[in-house]
Every structure is written in C-alpha cells, then in structure tokens.
A = this chain, B = another copy of it.
Amino acid sequence: MSVMAPAVDKKLTGLVAATFTPFTLQGEINLSEIGPYIDYLKEKQGVNSIFVNGTTGESMSLSVAERKILAEEWCQKAKGKMDQVVVQVGCMSLKDSQELARHAAQIGADGIAVIAPSFFKPDTAVLARDVLEDIEKRIPSFRGVKFSGSDLMDFGQCVSYSQSHWSVLYGMDEQLLAALAMGAHGAVGSTYNYVARHVNELISAFEKGDIVQARTIQFKMQELLGYAKKIGFDLGVNKQLMIEVSGLCLGPPRLPLMPCPHAHAVSIAQKYHSIFPELN
C-alpha cells in the first residue's frame, strides 16, 4: 500500500500507468526517452495519468539525485498531456523521503505517493483500513491510497471507509475486475503501460453492467500474465515486454535486477500479439 497526497485538488480515477525508468545501455538514466514515452501512453494506450519513481521505475535502485532529475523531466514532458503526474517519494531513509517530497512540490507534481520503508517493518500485519483512519487525522492533504494486496476484504473496508474526495486505487492488474466489483475508483499498475487500451474497455464494460464482456477482457489479461509467470515474470521481463510492444528504448533494468533473456522476451511478446491482435 502506498498513500497519496496531491498538490492540487483533482480526484484521481481511471488507469494510472506505473512507468518504467528509461536507462541507456550503460545503465545511466535516459531522459530523452521520456517525451516519446508519454506520447506513447497517451496516444496508443489512452492513459491520462502516470505514477513515476515507484517500484516499476526501480526507484530503490536510483540515487536521490537521479530521482529528482527524473521527477522533473516526467512533470515537464507531461505538461498539457497528462491529467496527473504522481511522484513516489518513499525511501528507506525518512530524511531522503522528506527531501523528495519537498522537491516534488517545487516542480509542480500533481501529487506524491509514499511506499513505506521495507527494511525495518512492523512485526504484525496491519490493516489498510486502520492505517487510513490514522492518516486521515494527521495528513489533511491526504487524498487516496493505492492498495496492492490480494486481500479484498481489507480493500473493501478501505473503500467502505473512504471519504468522497479520496481515490481508492487497486494495484494487482490481474484481478482488477474483482476490485471494481468491490468499489475501486481506478487502478495503478505496470501492465497499463501496454494493455491500458484493453483495460479501458474492461472498465467501460463494467460500468455499463456488461460483466460478461468485462470478464472476457480480464481473462485475456490473465492468460497473458499466467503465461508470463510460468516463464518467469519479474520486473526485467516486464520492462522488456513493454519495449517489445511499444518500440521505446527503455534499456535494461539496473542491478540487482537482471535483464530479460531474449528467448523469454520473444515468447511473451508473441503471446501478447496472439491475445491482443493489432487493429488496423
């Protein structure tokens, strides 16, 4: 779960693509690909909001300085094209997070999100809904939550508890339909980089009450992800699939993540094209 606070007051709904960080082949951040990336998301995938420097963006493998440069570039290039840019500012060190939060405000991010530190963790499982109750009292600008677990009782209680101006977004792309039934207002995910076009149709079908059509699209996504998971679907593979589908030059992931073996990339991309054939 990450929590979000926007700088301005726009409720975040619909699909939010969690962006990959473009690297050069030498492993340095590659700012020149960010403009084309945003155009691809908007024009080919129908995506209107992005979530940058999150797990998909390998933020934990970036230095604080790199995160600032990236956040700035995403915000600049998104201007006039994206509805909202949410910058993830969570770090292992609270000091670093605070610095990144201030920076995000300065560069005009529409909102920030914070993934909790994972090195030192609470001993016991905490219910998301209890966290909301606590946050609400302490962060007046709090505007939403991205929930990434499979426990839809906990998720349902977040939805049920949430105030009308909050966004309760879901983060497990492979079971979004279930979360929509439970009342999700939108979704943040890495697969929306390359299947948002189809998932937008899923959402429309659900909203029109055509559950059978929504289910059909969800099952297609599950078929793709199920296939990928059997081969081994980590962030490196995920990024490579985006490269194959979009034609963007996003480069390899950074260590400790490993690049995707070529044969895997080809095989998953073929599956993608067989499930989601290109329209003419």
Contacts and interface: CB of A to CB of B under 8 A. Distances in A.
A248 interface: no
Interface in A242-262: 254-257
A222 B60 contact: no
Assembly of this chain: how many copies? Answer: 4
Interface in A177-197: 177-183
Interface string A214-249: 110011001101100000001100000000000000
Contacts of A123: 234
Nearest to A253: B120
A94 interface: yes
Contacts of A219: 156-157, 159-160
A116 interface: yes
A170 B172 CA distance: 19
A117 interface: yes
A134 interface: no
A138 interface: no
A92 interface: yes
B60 A157 contact: no
Nearest to A152: B175
Interface stretch (A40-48, A61-69, A71-79, A101-109): A61-69
A119 B120 contact: no
B180 A117 contact: no
A64 B99 CA distance: 13
Contacts of A117: 60-61, 256
A93 interface: yes
Contacts of A127: 226
Contacts of A277: none
Contacts of A222: 153, 156-157, 160
A153 B226 contact: yes
A174 interface: yes
Given A60-B93, A94-B254, A256-B94, A152 B153 contact: no
A92 B150 contact: no
24 contacts: A58-B120, A61-B94, A61-B95, A63-B64, A63-B95, A117-B256, A120-B235, A120-B256, A122-B256, A129-B226, A150-B151, A151-B175, A152-B178, A153-B174, A156-B177, A156-B219, A156-B222, A157-B219, A157-B223, A159-B219, A175-B178, A177-B182, A182-B215, A183-B215
Given A94-B254, A121-B256, A160-B222, 14 more contacts: A60-B92, A60-B117, A61-B93, A61-B119, A63-B64, A63-B96, A120-B257, A153-B174, A153-B222, A153-B226, A156-B175, A156-B222, A157-B219, A157-B222
